[in-house]
Amino acid sequence: MIRVLLVDDSPIALLTISRILETAPDITVVGRAANGQEALDLIPALQPDVICTDLHMPVMDGLRFTEAVMQRFPRPILVISISVFDSKSDNVFNLLQAGAVDVFAKPRSGLRTADEPVARALIQKIRAISGVVAFTRRSHGAARVSPPPPRPATVELPPVAGSFDVLVIGASTGGPLAYEAILSALPASFPLPVICVQHISEGFLPGMVSWLDSCSKLKVKQASHLESLKAGFVYFAPEGKHLTVNANRLLQFSPHSEGDLYCPAVDVLFHSVANHFGAKAIALLLTGMGDDGARGLKRIREENGMTIAQDESSCVVYGMPHKAVEMNAARMVLPLALMADKVVTLVTGAGRK
C-alpha cells in the first residue's frame, strides 16, 4: 500500500485529490496538512511513501517545505500546483531543484473518480514515483526495486569532429531535472541543434522551457511548425502535438491520433530522425516510466546513429531507458552526470572545459 501525505492550504483541493487517490486500491491518504510546517510535524508519525505539495501556502511554502523534507526526511515529493496557469509557472521548477521528483497540474474540483484521464494520470504518477522510495532510501531496507539485469557492454565509437548533425533527447518522469543537468553543461559553442520531447502535465511546458532557458548557455524554446534547425538552439515539442523532422530537415508538427499513448511521443521524433539523419544523429533516452522512445532509439541505432540510455543508478524512474537496454537499442549506458561530456566529446573530439 502506498501511503500519501497531502499538503495544500485549499480544503477543496485536499478533498478533490483525496477522493481521486482513494479510488485506487493500492493507495491510501494517511494525512492532510494546510502548510509545510504542519506537514513536517506529521511526517515522523505518518511515514508517508509519497508527499504531494502545493507551491504557494502560508507559514511555510512548498519550496521551503521541500528543502526541509530533503534535509530531514528524504522521500519522493510530487508538486501539485495551480501555478501552471499563472505567469510564473517556472517557479514550480525551483522545487525540482530542491529535490521534488515531478510536477502535476492541480485537478479541478469536479473530478471525483479514477475513470477520468486526469485522475488516471495522477494515480499513475503516484505509483511511479513511489518506487523512488526504495531507490533513494535503500538503507531503510524496503527495497521494492528488483536488482538490475546485467548491463550490455558499452560500445565505444571513435569520436570524429563534424560527424553528427543533430542531438535528440527524450524523457518523462524526472525529465525536467535531467534536462537541466545536460543543457546547463553544454557549452555556448555547441555546434548542433538539440530537439527534445518531455512528457509533462498540460500547462507546465512554457514554465519548464523558461526555466531551462535560464539555466542553459543555449537558447531553449518551444518548437514552431516548419522551423529551420539552427546550432545553439534547443527545441521542445509543444503540448498536444507530435514533433518530427521532415525530408528537408525542418521541424514539423503532426496531430494527436486516437490511440496515441503519448503526445508528443519520443518514438515519433526518434523515428523521423532515424529516417532523415540516420548515422548523423546522437540520441539520448532519459529517465521516465513506460517504454516511449525505446523503439525509436533502436531505429536510430539501426541507422548507425549514436544512441545512449541513462543508467538505472541516476534515473528517477528506470522505465524508458530500461526498455531500450532490454531491446539492445543503446550503444552506451551512462549515468546522467557523464552524458553532457560524452556528447561534447563525440561531437568535437574534446570534453567540456
More confident residue, 109 or 3: 3
Instruction: Convert the pLDDT of each residue in 133-146 to its tens digit.
Output: 433 433 333 333 33
Q: How far apart are CA 194 and CA 183, in angstroms?
A: 9
Q: Residue 152 has what pLDDT?
A: 41
Per-residue cell: 208:
519548464
Q: What is the mean pLDDT of residues 87-99?
A: 76
Q: What is the pLDDT of residues 248-261, one digit of tens each?
A: 999 999 988 777 88
Q: What is the pLDDT of residues 29-87, one digit of tens each?
A: 999 999 999 999 999 999 999 999 999 999 999 999 999 999 999 999 999 987 655 54
- Residues with Cβ within 8 Å of residue 333, at least 6 apart in sequence: 151, 152, 154, 308, 309, 310, 311, 321, 325
pLDDT top residue among 255 and 305? 305
Which range among 213-217, 288-292, 348-352 shows the weakest confidence by mean pLDDT?
348-352
Q: Does residue 128 carry a pLDDT above 60?
A: yes
pLDDT tens-place string over residues 145-154: 333 344 444 4
Domain spans of the chain, in order of start = 2-140, 166-348
Same fold, 2-140 and 166-348: yes
* Higher local confidence (pLDDT), 163 or 89: 163
The CATH number given to 166-348 is 3.40.50.180
As a whole-number percent, the residues of the chain with pLDDT over 90 amount to 71
Whole-angstrom distance, CA of residue 136 vs CA of residue 69: 14
Which of the residues 49, 54, 165, 199 is marked catalytic?
199
% of the chain at pLDDT higher than 70: 86
In angstroms, rounded to a whole number, what is the distance separating the alpha carbons of residues 86 and 255?
A: 26
Amino acid 97: pLDDT: 87
Pick the more confident residue, 108 or 112.
Answer: 108
pLDDT of residue 31: 98
Check whether 111 has a pLDDT greater than 60: no
Of residues 234, 176, 164, the one with CA closest to residue 200: 176
Residue 292 known to be catalytic: yes
The per-residue pLDDT for 17 is 94
* Residue in 292, 311, 314, 322 annotated catalytic: 292
Q: Are the C-beta atoms of 291 and 323 separated by less than 8 Å?
A: yes
Quote the pLDDT of residue 83. Answer: 62
Which is higher by pLDDT, 200 or 91?
200
pLDDT, position 84: 55
Instruction: Reply yes or no on domain 2-140 having CATH 3.90.550.10.
Output: no
Is 199 assigned a catalytic role? yes
Name the pLDDT band for 325 (thresholds 50, 70, 90): very high
| pLDDT of the residue at 288 | 94
* Residue 194 three-state SS: strand
Half-sphere exposure of 115 (CA within 13 A, CB side): 1
Active-site residue, from 130, 172, 210, 314: 172
Q: What are the backbone angles phi and psi of residue 310, rounded to the nearest 5°?
A: -70, 140
More confident residue, 326 or 107: 326
